[in-house]
Amino acid sequence: MQPPKPSAPRRQAVTAYVALGANLGDARATVLRAMDDLAQLPRTQVTARSGLWRSAPVDAGGPDFINAVAELRTSLAAPDLLHALQQLENAAGRQRPYPNAPRTLDLDLLLYGSTQIQSERLTVPHPRMSERAFVLKPLADIAPDLVAPQELARLAGQRVERL
């Protein structure tokens, strides 16, 4: 994997959260390997890892997903981090034949410090994270102050279980 091209001089590190998911191949092994791969990104360290969760696909078909969330401390700019995440997806064989297709690996940048970003390529906070129990439950594992109990209660009908 090529390191992302710097978009700015060295920046101060921020805390970012990345959702991981997979439902093709050995999804569990893929998510665990991706956690390790995140730790290899330049100017980035994984500071917390949620447990693994199994969930039914939302707005999609295919097998159940294995999900997790990682907390990163990174000095990569948000667009550079997004680029690095997409490279990891591609290295895992990610195909995008249609929206919400089953996937070998899905990495979503959920939060990037307290920054709000709205661009053609990136929206942070992730626009659908509060609609997905498979994101909020693993996020609550490692950052419970970021997930309100009423948010989880509202999503109680979504099937998601801790592995």
Q: What is the average per-residue pLDDT within 76-81?
A: 97
Q: Write out the H or E segment, with its range, that includes residue 119.
A: none
Q: State yes or no: pLDDT of 35 exceeds 80.
A: yes
Q: Is the pLDDT of residue 9 over 90?
A: no
Residue 8 placed within a domain: no
CATH number at residue 123: 3.30.70.560
DSSP secondary structure code for residue 127 in this structure: T
Q: Which residue out of 94, 132, 159, 162 is catalytically annotated?
A: 94
HSE of 162, CA atoms in CB hemisphere, 13 A: 8
> Catalytic residue at 36?
no
From the candidates 49, 54, 103, 132, which is the catalytic residue?
Answer: 103
In a domain, 53, yes or no: yes
What's the rounded Cα separation, in Å, for the pair 88 and 92? 6
Please state the rounded mean pLDDT for residues 37-66.
93
Q: Which of 106, 121, 141, 145 is catalytic?
A: 106
Average pLDDT over residues 39-62: 93
pLDDT at 57: 87
Annotated active-site residue 64? The verdict is no
Mean pLDDT score, 39-63: 93
Which residue shows structure tokens 């980035």? 44
- Active-site residue identified among 37, 108, 132, 141: 108
What is the distance between the alpha carbons of residues 75 and 56, in angstroms, rounded to a whole number?
A: 34
Q: Does 103 qualify as catalytic in the annotation?
A: yes
- The domain of 68 spans 14-162
Q: What pLDDT digit, counting tens, does each position of 87-99 carry? A: 999 999 887 766 6
Condensed to tens digits (0 to 9), the pLDDT of residues 110-148 reads: 999 999 999 999 999 999 999 999 999 999 999 999 999
The per-residue pLDDT for 50 is 98
In the residue annotation, 80 being an active-site residue is answered as no
- The answer to whether position 1 is within a domain reads no
In a domain, 5, yes or no: no
Decide which of 143 and 58 is more confident: 143
Q: Is 18 within the bounds of a domain?
A: yes
